[in-house]
Amino acid sequence: MIENLIDIHNHLIPDFDDGPPDWKVTMEMLRQAASQGITDVFATSHFSEYIAPDLVKEYLWKFAELQQKIEEEGIPVRVHSGSELFYHPYIASSIADVPIATLGGRGQYVLMEFPMFQALEGFEDALFRLSMEDYIPIIAHPERYMAVVNDFEVLYRFIKFGGLLQINGGSILGHFGKDVQKTSLKILEQGLAHFVASDAHTYKKGRCFILRDVVYFLVDKIPLEYLEKLVRGNPQAIIAGERLEKVEAPLEVPRKGLLQKIKKSFRFLGKA
């Protein structure tokens, strides 16, 4: 089984976003991460369009305190800084010189999220500009966006314009409903994702650290080598400051074959 998992998307900084309300919950979450076989966790707090310098300062002193508390309590987990940025058209210029805007503060990987229930239009330009500035965008939980659930072509546009995909463990386990689960498995079956992460907000069931549970769930569904990359190999490249290879986006969404169409109409006729 795969050991030493690396979890690139989580909310750990207390009293900062919709993650843990206090240090007690944060530390319980980290103990849980360790029990899931996770050795490295990125603390990717939410940030919106304007990244206020005061918020960055607050994040940084709380992050330093987090590292100190982990050492004091002897929890075998390393933490890395980061953020989950809400998409806006000028994201590339707004993150320049913001140390926590990239994962591990390395100036490379940018974790970004999009609106859950809106049409996703016009993001190609922003992704392209990020690539021009040498950033590598990571699209957080694309399987949860209704626009993707309804139309896989949106997903292919993310990929075509340089986005790497990060799937949530909870989506794979069905915590966000059948449609989201189906979409996440379809993405994995096509080998389009680079990462699976917990996106933990608490230690309570539903939004907690679940990476090992996901590994058990996926082990007989996708090739082991790919599974290893999703939860260890690719995240390790972020820590090492290496650039990951992109996947090729399919040219178009596979349409239903003629045979399937015929079978479907026979089923329909049978019901009549």
Binding site residues, Fe ion, CB under 5 A: 84, 199
Comparing CB distances to Fe ion, the nearer of 13 and 188 is: 13
**Residue 84 or 120 having the CB closest to Fe ion:** 84
Paired sense of beta strands 136-140 and 109-113, if any: parallel
| Residue in the block written with tokens 């993310």 | 158
Structure token pair of residue 263 = 């079978």
Please enumerate in sequence order all residues whose Cβ is within 8 A of that of 257, keeping only pairs 6 or more positions apart, or say none.
none
CA distance 125 to 75: 42
Least separation in angstroms between CB 272 and Fe ion:
47
Nearest approach in angstroms of CB 29 to Fe ion is 13
Nearer to Fe ion, 91 or 156 (CB): 91
User: Closest distance between Fe ion and the C-beta of residue 199, in Å?
Assistant: 4
Do 215 and 1 meet the contact criterion of CB atoms below 8 Å apart? Answer: yes
Q: State the sign of the Cα–Cα–Cα–Cα dihedral 175, 222, 142, 111.
A: positive
Nearer to Fe ion, 6 or 156 (CB): 6
Decide if 127 contacts 85 (C-beta within 8 A).
Answer: no
